[in-house]
Chain A
Amino acid sequence: MSGGNTGPVVGARGLGSFLLGIATWIITLLFFFPVFWMVLNGFKEEVDANTDPKLFFDPTLDRFSEVTEDTTGLLSFSEAFANSFWSVLISTIVVMAMAIPAAYALSIRPVEKWRDVLFFFISTKFLPIVAAILPLWIIARDAGLLNTRLVLIILYTAMNLPLAVWMLRSFFNEVPKELIEAASIDGAKISSQIRSVILPIVAPGLAATALLCVIFAWNEFFLAVQLNPVDGTTVPVWVQSNVSSRGNFLAKLSAASTLATLPVVLAGWVAQKRMIRGLAMGAIK
């Protein structure tokens, strides 16, 4: 972008941004196409979904009613949805409740060795989760937590906490120190400083962070299938239960995936404005 100022010819700049625009569109479409195809396949008959790609077909809602059908003893979409909803909601609330004070202590009034603390937080994400699954499973077994929703809530909280602390810290850094000083001169205690001064300013950042936590927890499959594949499990595990090894399942799976994606898309859509502002905040100031 800075190159625009030095560009001698306006036409070249126009062409450059035109080409950039085209490239952006191509990349966007490449990203979007699989999603579009998934949604489209969800409205097809199995036969149409599995044969040569067809753009035009008789759309049907049968796959959606098939995957949402309730069978006693089988994980239904509504159960999985409720399980996911509560795991995600509770873990995100806990994450935010712990990450806000942590970010405060790492940014506004940094504790001693705050760099080491920050590094420690992110270092917990260095180990691939697959390397930790066996110990996790054994701990969960010994604690009687296998097949419970609680184990997922705990792990989703642990999984998102470092990320939330890091993100929130960068947002907290943007809060002008003068404002906080002014507030404390006026006699505001820490709690009311956070509530009345800091939180309103970092609201977009909070929304962005919470949304990311929601998305990560909502889409989490590995821990859910390993530690709680039985009842009480979440939407991604339900999506996988639509895979069949002896028969066609692409249309059914697409319908299931579409349903699984919807809540996140909706939440993202509502929070979009906040989130983009939130993400851009650190870059602009």
Chain B
Amino acid sequence: MTRSDRQGPGAWIKLLSLLAALAVVAAACGSSASSDDGASGDSSDDSAQDDGSGDDGSGDDGSGDDDGSGDDDGSGDDGSGEARSINVAIVGNPQMEDIAALTPELFTADTGIEVNYTFLEEQTLREIVTRDVAAGGDQFDVVMIGMFEAPQFGAEGLLVDLNTYAAGDADYNVDDIFPAVRGGLSYEGGLYAAPFYAESSFVMYREDLLEAAGQTMPDAPTWDEVAAIARAIDSDETAGICLRGKPGWGDLGAAFTTVLNTFGGTWWEANPDGSIGEAQVDQPEFREALEFYVNLVNDAGEDDAANSSFVECLNLYQEGKVAMWYDATVAAGLLEANDSAVKGLNNFALAPTKETDASGWLWAWSLAIPQNSPDPDTAWEYLSWATSAEYIAAAGEALDGGWAAVPPGTRASTYDNPNYQAAAEAFAQKTLDAMNAAPIDNPGTTPRPGLPGVQYVGVPEFQDVGTRCTELFSSVIAGNMSIDDALSDCQDIASQASS
């Protein structure tokens, strides 16, 4: 007791001095970050956060505390000279990081609109954006959503129809956007999101390794041909093919569903009204597709396939540990980047098929305006810049990575641009072919329930069913479960969604 009394002051002084030091650092950081926000002053009285926009305390942006008072609803009219700002939720991808870096110079400088980006990991973004859009949180003025969400949210009336803006904006040239992508983001004629970045899937392969093994890849291969090549070139050092095996409807679920489609299978049959019919997981086509996928991965796939998805395969491919890779077209840009170990060694082929003519997936990360947005005009001003041909052209000049690093897959004009053609010579045409071939409206041999979709079924239930079933399929790949058990469990899961 007396000891603690004796030691008391010393340690307390240490602790206090540490706190004081941290306070100084924090205050300095706060002020250096936004020049005058005075972090120490206004936050110690726990008032609402200042907007970090570098503006003075009075000019609150529309970020959070405007719901009740609506004091800045007039920010649409810039005549007053009041700084306008918007909050944008965006997924963490290289192309998205680029636009964030270029925004102050290319957008804010011209328009005076400050853009606050919130970068989130894919799953978190989905959760937060879905709730914000559906329940009117006004947390964001512009949100990034995928092709899965856009038409569903549009059908629910949660998003602003961009056609109303695009029609009056000749510069925006909405017809320049690839029809398949536009179709995937539309519902009954309304365009509910504008694509920022889009991708299909195709086969990437090491031409040198295939040649050394005496194999040739057709431009439009079948899965049987790809499997034969993979098994022929598979060795201890180099796996034949990298395929996704990580659970998740957007991971294994995406790659596997394209295989399922072209094998003639489907998750559910469609009722005449388009709703979810009987689950089809117990059908022979489904089993054939799953057996094919699992056997191919186990015979000629990468090690630890049950934990591999895009990033893992990208690394294995760049290290030369796999000879082929079936995944997103955007990977081609990374394989052919200047710092890539395999630059110049690659070639590309369309997504492999079996029963259908084409099987590549279609995905677009796209920007949308929530229906309850307090200032949709300002949001459109930003959105129409971020998804414009003008931005792509400016980014091509401004980015360190040059033209090869611009957001691909959205506009025909990108692929017509000689600068892009030169920079992306190795993969531009193949990507374009893949985008054009993606069978968005008719991915398989039978009608699908819900809204259009290739590597997913356009119904909200698919997220849950796809994720739970791919957990089972991933266990099969890892050798911890039999195909019979996985299929029967998955059939039960899928049946719960049937109506």
**Shortest Cβ distance from residue B98 to the other chain A in the assembled complex, whole angstroms:** 11
**Shortest Cβ distance from residue B195 to the other chain A in the assembled complex, whole angstroms:** 15
Query: Which of the residues A137, A146, A266, A277 comes within 8 Å of B4, measured between beta carbons?
Result: A277
B117 beta carbon closer than 8 Å to chain A: yes
CB of A244 within 8 A of CB of B52, answer: no
The CA-CA distance from A90 to B45 in the complex, in Å, is 9
B170 beta carbon closer than 8 Å to chain A: no
Query: Which of the residues B44, B52, B87 comes within 8 Å of A86, measured between beta carbons?
Result: B44
Q: Point out the residues of chain B lying under 8 angstroms from A150, CB to CB.
A: 46-49
Query: Which of the residues A51, A90, A233, A267 comes within 8 Å of B315, measured between beta carbons?
Result: A51
Q: Point out the residues of chain B lying under 8 angstroms from A62, CB to CB.
A: none
Query: Which of the residues A78, A90, A142, A200 comes within 8 Å of B5, measured between beta carbons?
Result: A200
Interface string of A199-210 (1 = CB under 8 A from B): 011011001000
Query: Which of the residues A83, A142, A226, A244 comes within 8 Å of B94, measured between beta carbons?
Result: A244
Query: Chain B residue with minimal CB distance to A278?
Result: B4
**Shortest Cβ distance from residue B347 to the other chain A in the assembled complex, whole angstroms:** 21
Interface string of B87-130 (1 = CB under 8 A from A): 10101111101001101100010000011111111101001100
Q: Point out the residues of chain B lying under 8 angstroms from A244, CB to CB.
A: 92-94, 97
The CA-CA distance from A271 to B8 in the complex, in Å, is 11
| Stretch in A12-20, A65-73, A108-116, A161-169 with 4+ CB within 8 Å of B | A65-73
B314 beta carbon closer than 8 Å to chain A: yes
A23 beta carbon closer than 8 Å to chain B: no
A117 beta carbon closer than 8 Å to chain B: no
| Stretch in B62-70, B220-228, B238-246, B488-496 with 4+ CB within 8 Å of A | B62-70
Which residues B293-330 have CB closer than 8 A to chain A?
Answer: 310-311, 314-315, 318-319, 328, 330
Q: Point out the residues of chain B lying under 8 angstroms from A76, CB to CB.
A: 33
A50 beta carbon closer than 8 Å to chain B: yes
CB of B101 within 8 A of CB of A153, answer: no
CB of B1 within 8 A of CB of A79, answer: no
CB of A225 within 8 A of CB of B46, answer: no
B232 beta carbon closer than 8 Å to chain A: no
CB of B91 within 8 A of CB of A51, answer: no
B482 beta carbon closer than 8 Å to chain A: no
The CA-CA distance from A89 to B104 in the complex, in Å, is 33
The CA-CA distance from A6 to B59 in the complex, in Å, is 75
The CA-CA distance from A233 to B124 in the complex, in Å, is 15
Q: Point out the residues of chain A lying under 8 angstroms from B103, CB to CB.
A: 72-73
Query: Chain B residue with minimal CB distance to A281?
Result: B4
Query: Which of the residues A51, A148, A229 comes within 8 Å of B48, measured between beta carbons?
Result: A148
| Stretch in A32-40, A96-104, A184-192, A245-253 with 4+ CB within 8 Å of B | A245-253
Q: Point out the residues of chain A lying under 8 angstroms from B318, CB to CB.
A: 47
A182 beta carbon closer than 8 Å to chain B: no
CB of A147 within 8 A of CB of B114, answer: no
The CA-CA distance from A246 to B91 in the complex, in Å, is 10
Interface string of B157-168 (1 = CB under 8 A from A): 000000000000
CB of B64 within 8 A of CB of A153, answer: no
A220 beta carbon closer than 8 Å to chain B: no
Interface string of B8-39 (1 = CB under 8 A from A): 10011011001100110111011011100001
CB of A246 within 8 A of CB of B330, answer: yes
A27 beta carbon closer than 8 Å to chain B: no
CB of A225 within 8 A of CB of B48, answer: no
CB of B49 within 8 A of CB of A148, answer: yes
Query: Chain A residue with minimal CB distance to B318?
Result: A47
CB of A231 within 8 A of CB of B121, answer: no
- Of B19, B66, B122, chain A has the most CB atoms within 10 Å of the CB of B19
The CA-CA distance from A241 to B66 in the complex, in Å, is 25
**Shortest Cβ distance from residue A212 to the other chain B in the assembled complex, whole angstroms:** 14
The CA-CA distance from A246 to B25 in the complex, in Å, is 34
**Shortest Cβ distance from residue A239 to the other chain B in the assembled complex, whole angstroms:** 10
Interface string of B336-380 (1 = CB under 8 A from A): 000001000000000000000000000000000000000000000
Given contacts A149-B46, A231-B49, contact A248 B314 (CB under 8 A): yes
CB of B66 within 8 A of CB of A230, answer: no
A3 beta carbon closer than 8 Å to chain B: no
**Shortest Cβ distance from residue B138 to the other chain A in the assembled complex, whole angstroms:** 7
CB of A230 within 8 A of CB of B310, answer: no
Given contacts A73-B108, A144-B66, A228-B64, 16 further A-B contacts (CB under 8 A): A71-B101, A72-B104, A73-B114, A74-B101, A79-B34, A85-B22, A85-B26, A89-B19, A90-B43, A137-B135, A144-B65, A146-B137, A201-B1, A230-B64, A241-B120, A246-B330
User: Can you list 16 A-B pairs with a CB-CB distance of less than 8 A?
Assistant: A47-B318, A70-B33, A71-B101, A73-B117, A90-B44, A141-B135, A141-B138, A144-B64, A145-B64, A147-B49, A147-B139, A233-B118, A245-B93, A246-B331, A247-B314, A270-B11
The 8 closest A-B pairs by CB, nearest first: A147-B64, A232-B49, A78-B29, A82-B30, A241-B119, A85-B26, A149-B49, A72-B104
